[in-house]
Amino acid sequence: MSKLHIETTINGEPAEYLCDPHETLLSALRNAVGLTGTKEGCATGDCGACSILVDGRLVPACLVLAPEAQGRRVTTIEGLSRGDALHPLQQKFLEHAALQCGICTPGFIVAAKALLDAKPDPSEEEARYWLAGNLCRCTGYDKIVRAVLDAASEMKGSAA
């Protein structure tokens, strides 16, 4: 069985990898590409730990086949910070103690970025429903929601 050669863009940079036809994009990112920030929690699309953006759209990497990334733009947690500057969401997660074990954090931050891209001023309820696909077992979500709303507020402020 020969592998497929896929050319894509990951976090703004051209990238390529070899993959099995039936391999998931999550597996290709973590193994062939070496970006392990995206996590596997369930492999059935129910936990959000593998959240990435493909062409700007929030998807679960465990339910995307690796060949599908051909010619597309993929964004992972590793693409959020700019140089040594953290994205406001990353900074707010730290300030609000919105992480304990941290395994769900990359997925939450990518999902929250997609939220704020689509809805720069979400209400608490909108944020909670948008993030319902991201499971956290440590925090009870309270500080995560506060961090997201605070980041929204800051990003709106600096955009003005």
Partner 1 sequence: MVAIRYEAPRSVSEAVRLMAADPGALVLAGGTDLLVQFRAGVRQPSAFVDVKRIPELMSIAIDAQGLRLGAAAPAAVIGEHAELRRLWPGLAESVRLIGSTQIQGRGSVGGNLCNGSPAADTTCALIVNRAQCVVAGPGGERTVPVEEFCTGPGRTVLQPGELLVAIRVPRPAARTADAYLRLIPRTEMDIAVAGAGASVTLDAAGVCTAARVAIGAVAPTALRVPEAEQALVGSPLDEASLKRAADAAAAAARPIDDKRGTAAYRRTVAGVLTRRAAAIAAARARGSDL
Partner 2 sequence: MTTPRDFKYVGTRPIRHDGVDKVTGRASYGADPAWPGMLHGFVLRSPHAHARIVSIDTKAAEAVPGVHAVITGKDLPETTATIALGEAAIDLRDIGDNVLARTKALYHGHAVAAVAATTIDIARQAAAAIDVVYEVLEPVTGIDRAIAADAPILHPALRTKGASADAGRPTNIASRMELKRGDVDAGFAEADVVVEREFRTPMVHQGYIEPHACIARCGEDGRAVVWCTTQGPFVVRDACAAIVGLDSANVKVVPSEIGGGFGGKIVVYLEPIALALARRAQRPVKIVMGRDEVFRATGPTSGSKVRVKLGAKRDGTIVAASASLWYEAGAYAGSPVGAGAMCMLAAYKIPNFFVEAYDVVVNKPKVAAYRAPGSPIAAFAMESAVDEIARELKIDPIEVRLRNANAEGDRAPYGPKYGPIGLTEMLETARAHPHWRAPLGANQGRGFAVGFWFNAGMNSSATVTLNADGSAAVVTGNPDIGGTRAAQAIMAAEELGIPVERVRSNVGDTDGSGFTDVTGGSRVCYATGMAVIRAAEDAREQLRARAATIWNVGKDAVGWEDGRAIPPAGTEKASPLTVAEIAAKMTHTGGPIVGRASLYAPMAGPAFGAHICDLEVDPETGRSRIVRYTAFQDVGKAVHPSYVEGQMQGGVAQGIGWALNEEYIYSADGVMENAGFLDYRMPVASDLPMIETVIVEVANPLHPYGVRGVGEVPIVPPLAAVANAMRDATGIRFTELPLSPPRVLEAIEAAAAVPVEA
C-alpha 64: how far from its chain's center?
A: 14
Tokens of 144: 């995560």
The item of partner 1, partner 2, none sharing an interface with residue 90, based on CB under 5 to 8 Å by kind, is partner 2
Of 94 and 118, the one with the shorter C-beta distance to partner 2 is: 94
Whether 14 contacts 32, CB under 8 Å: no
For residue 61, the minimal CB distance to partner 2 (Å) is 13
Query: Given phi > 0 = left and psi -120 to 50 = alpha, else beta, which region is 62?
Result: alpha
Residues that bind partner 2 (CB under 8 A): 20, 30-31, 35-44, 46-47, 49, 76-78, 80-81, 86, 90, 93-97, 99-106, 109, 124-125, 127-129, 131-146
d(CA 160, CA 151): 14
Tokens of 128: 């909670």
Q: Within a 10 A sphere around the Cβ of 57, how many other Cβ atoms?
A: 12
For residue 1, the minimal CB distance to partner 1 (Å) is 4
Q: Give the x/- contact pattern for partner 1 in 36-75, rule: CB under 8 A.
A: -------xxxx-x--x--x--xxxx-xxxx-xx-x-----
Q: Is 159 in the site for partner 1 (CB under 8 A)?
A: no
